[in-house]
C-alpha cells in the first residue's frame, strides 16, 4: 500500500501542528487534575490522578470518534439579537463558562484562604469526598477533551 500521500510537506506540517497542539492542550488538563486531586487525603491523590488521566484519555478517544458529529452541529437553533447559535456553540459556551468558574474558584481559594472559612477536615484540609473530586475531574476532562478535539478538527 502506498502511503506517500501522507508524507507531503503540507500534511507533515499539519501533523506536527496537531501534535504540539495536543501537548499544549493536554498540559492544562494535567494541571487541573493535579490541583483537584491535591484536595484529597494523600493516600487517595495518586488514585484520583490515575483515574482522572485514564478518563481523560478515554473521553478524548471517544470524542475523536464523535468529532464529525460534534462539528456538524452547526444548524442554528436559537437566534438572539441577530446572532444565530447552534448546539456546537452552546457546548463550547457551557464548557468555557465551566472553565472560568473553576479558575475563579481556585484562585479565590488560593488568595482568600476560603478553605478555612468552610471548615477543615483532619490534617488541615478542607473535607472533600473522592467522588466529588472525580466528578469535577470528569467534567474538566470532558471540557478539555471537547475543546481539544474541536480545535484539532477545525484545523
Least confident of 43-47, 64-68, 77-81, 148-152: 148-152
Tens digit of each residue's pLDDT (9 = 90 or more) over 40-58: 899 999 999 999 888 888 8
CA dist 33 and 49 (Å) reads 6
Domain ranges of the chain: 4-154
Q: How far is CA 54 from CA 33, 58, 86, 92, 97, in A?
A: 11, 6, 30, 23, 24
pLDDT of 90: 85
pLDDT-based confidence at 5, cuts 50/70/90? low
Amino acid at each position: 500500500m502506498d502511503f506517500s500521500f501522507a508524507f507531503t510537506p503540507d500534511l507533515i506540517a499539519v501533523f506536527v501542528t496537531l501534535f504540539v497542539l495536543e501537548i499544549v492542550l493536554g498540559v492544562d488538563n494535567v494541571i487541573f487534575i493535579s490541583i483537584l486531586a491535591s484536595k484529597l487525603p494523600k493516600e487517595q491523590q495518586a488514585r484520583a490522578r490515575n483515574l482522572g488521566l485514564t478518563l481523560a484519555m478515554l473521553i478524548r478517544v471517544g470524542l475523536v470518534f464523535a468529532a464529525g458529529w460534534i462539528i456538524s452541529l452547526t444548524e442554528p437553533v436559537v437566534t438572539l439579537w441577530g446572532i444565530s447559535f447552534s448546539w456546537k456553540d452552546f457546548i463550547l459556551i457551557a464548557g468555557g463558562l465551566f472553565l472560568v468558574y473553576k479558575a475563579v474558584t481556585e484562585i479565590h481559594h488560593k488568595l482568600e484562604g476560603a478553605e478555612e472559612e468552610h471548615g477543615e477536615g483532619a490534617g488541615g484540609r478542607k473535607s472533600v469526598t473522592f467522588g466529588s473530586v472525580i466528578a469535577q475531574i470528569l467534567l474538566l476532562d470532558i471540557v478539555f477533551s471537547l475543546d481539544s478535539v474541536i480545535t484539532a478538527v477545525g484545523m
